[in-house]
C-alpha cells in the first residue's frame, strides 16, 4: 500500500515536472536550439560538403551512383548527428526544472511533504528522460519525412535499432545531466553549463565535422569519451541501408568486390560509422558496451549524490 502510494506520488511529480517544462516556451525553444542549429548548418553548407565528399569517393574510382542515395546518405548522416547530440543537449536543457526548483525553493515544498527525497530525484530523472524522448522522437519524425523526400533507404531493423540508440543516448544524456546539474543551484551556473554543452558537445562528438577529419591525437583523446559511441551506434544504423544501396548499385554495374569494399570502408571511416581508439577499430557491440558501462557509472554517481544530498541538511 505504502509502495503503491509512493509510486503514485512519483507519477504525480513526473507529471508536474513534464507540464512545467512544456508550459515554459522559452526553455522548450532552448532545448531545440541544437537540432535547429545543426539543421540550419546542414541546409546552408554542410549538405553540399557531404554530398561533394561522397561523390568524390565514387568519382576517384571512376564510379557513378544514384544521386538519390547520395542525397539520402547525407541526410541520414545529419539525422544521426542531430539525434545523438540532442540526446545530451536537450537532456541538459530540459533538466532546468531541477535547478529552478532549487532557485525558487520549491524543493523545500517537497521536503516538508511526506515524499521521499529519492522519489523526488527519481521523478526529475524520469521526467527529463520522457521530455528528451518526446523532443527527439518529434525531431526524428520530421527528419524521416525529409529522408523520405530525398531518398529513403533505411531498413525496418535499422529503424528499430535507431529507436534503441535514441533510448541509449537519452539514458546517457539524462544521467550525465542529472550528475552535472546536481551541483548547480544558480541561474548563472545553469546558463553557463547549458551554453557550454550546447556549443561544445556537437564539436566533441563530431556532429559538425566528422571526428575522422581531426588530428590523430585529438581522435584518440575523443575516443576516451563515451558520448562519441552514442554517435557511433546511431551513425551505423542510419548509414547501413545507404551503404547497402551503394553496394547493390556498384554490384549492378559489375564493380570489383575489392573496390566496393575499399569505397564503402572509406566512406564508413570518413563519416565516423567506423570509430577507432588508439588505432583499434571499435566494434558495434563494444560501442554499446562502453555506452551502457558509462551509463552504469553515471547511475551509481547519481544515486550517491542523491543519498548524500538527502542526508545533508
Residues in contact with other proteins by the rule CB under 8 A: 5, 8-9, 11-13, 15-16, 19-20, 23-24, 104-106, 108-115, 313
Ramachandran category for residue 209: left, alpha or beta (phi over 0 → left; psi -120 to 50 → alpha): beta
CB-nearer residue toward other proteins: 30 or 260: 30
Query: Per DSSP, what are the bridge partners of residue 275?
Result: 282
Ramachandran category for residue 278: left, alpha or beta (phi over 0 → left; psi -120 to 50 → alpha): left
Residue 195 is given by DSSP the state: H
- The minimum distance between CB 15 and other proteins, in angstroms, equals 7
Query: Per DSSP, what are the bridge partners of residue 281?
Result: 276
- The minimum distance between CB 235 and other proteins, in angstroms, equals 38
- The minimum distance between CB 105 and other proteins, in angstroms, equals 6
CB-nearer residue toward other proteins: 32 or 46: 32
Buried b / exposed e across 268-293, counting CB within 10 Å, b at 16+? bebbbbbbbbeeeebebebbbebbee
CB-nearer residue toward other proteins: 28 or 208: 28
Give me 9's grid cell: 506520488
- The minimum distance between CB 9 and other proteins, in angstroms, equals 6
Q: How many residues are present in the chain?
A: 313
CB-nearer residue toward other proteins: 19 or 216: 19
539543421: which residue's cell?
A: 39
Give me 93's grid cell: 536543457
**How far from 256 is each of 54, 240, 268, 303, CA to CA, in Å?**
19, 20, 18, 55
Residue 201 CB neighbour total at 10 angstroms: 22
- The minimum distance between CB 8 and other proteins, in angstroms, equals 6
CB-nearer residue toward other proteins: 108 or 155: 108
Measure the CA–CA gap between 64 and 72, rounded to whole angstroms: 15
- The minimum distance between CB 115 and other proteins, in angstroms, equals 5
- The minimum distance between CB 10 and other proteins, in angstroms, equals 9
CB-nearer residue toward other proteins: 85 or 115: 115
* Dihedral angle sign, alpha carbons of residues 296, 300, 302, 303: positive
- Helix (H) / strand (E) containing 206: none
CB-nearer residue toward other proteins: 7 or 145: 7
Amino acid at each position: 500500500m505504502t509502495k503503491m502510494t509512493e509510486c503514485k506520488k512519483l507519477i504525480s511529480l513526473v507529471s508536474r515536472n513534464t507540464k512545467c517544462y512544456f508550459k515554459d516556451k522559452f526553455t522548450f525553444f532552448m532545448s531545440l536550439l541544437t537540432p535547429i542549429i545543426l539543421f540550419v548548418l546542414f541546409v546552408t553548407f554542410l549538405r553540399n560538403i557531404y554530398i561533394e565528399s561522397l561523390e568524390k569517393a565514387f568519382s576517384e574510382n571512376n564510379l557513378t551512383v544514384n544521386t538519390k542515395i547520395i542525397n539520402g546518405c547525407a541526410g541520414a548522416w545529419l539525422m544521426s548527428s542531430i539525434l545523438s547530440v540532442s540526446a545530451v543537449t536537450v537532456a541538459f536543457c530540459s533538466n532546468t526544472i531541477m535547478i529552478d526548483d532549487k532557485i525558487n525553493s520549491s524543493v523545500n515544498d517537497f521536503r516538508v511533504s511526506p515524499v521521499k527525497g529519492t522519489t523526488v530525484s527519481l521523478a526529475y530523472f524520469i521526467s527529463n528522460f520522457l521530455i528528451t524522448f518526446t523532443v527527439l522522437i518529434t525531431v526524428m519524425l520530421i527528419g524521416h519525412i525529409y529522408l523520405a523526400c530525398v531518398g529513403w533507404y533505411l531498413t525496418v531493423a535499422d529503424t528499430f535499432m535507431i529507436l534503441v540508440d535514441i533510448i541509449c543516448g537519452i539514458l546517457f544524456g539524462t544521467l550525465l545531466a542529472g550528475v552535472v546539474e546536481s551541483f548547480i543551484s544558480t541561474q548563472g551556473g545553469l546558463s553557463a553549463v547549458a551554453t557550454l554543452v550546447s556549443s561544445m558537445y556537437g564539436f566533441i562528438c563530431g556532429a559538425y565535422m566528422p571526428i575522422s577529419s581531426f588530428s590523430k591525437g585529438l581522435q584518440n583523446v575523443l575516443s576516451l569519451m563515451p558520448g562519441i559511441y552514442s554517435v557511433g551506434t546511431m551513425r551505423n544504423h542510419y548509414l547501413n541501408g545507404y551503404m547497402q544501396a551503394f553496394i547493390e548499385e556498384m554490384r549492378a554495374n559489375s564493380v570489383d568486390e575489392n573496390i566496393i569494399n575499399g569505397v564503402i570502408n572509406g566512406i564508413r571511416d570518413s563519416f565516423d560509422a567506423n570509430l577507432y581508439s588508439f588505432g583499434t577499430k571499435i566494434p558495434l557491440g563494444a560501442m554499446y558496451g562502453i555506452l551502457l558501462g558509462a551509463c552504469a557509472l553515471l547511475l551509481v554517481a547519481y544515486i550517491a549524490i542523491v543519498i548524500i544530498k538527502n542526508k545533508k541538511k
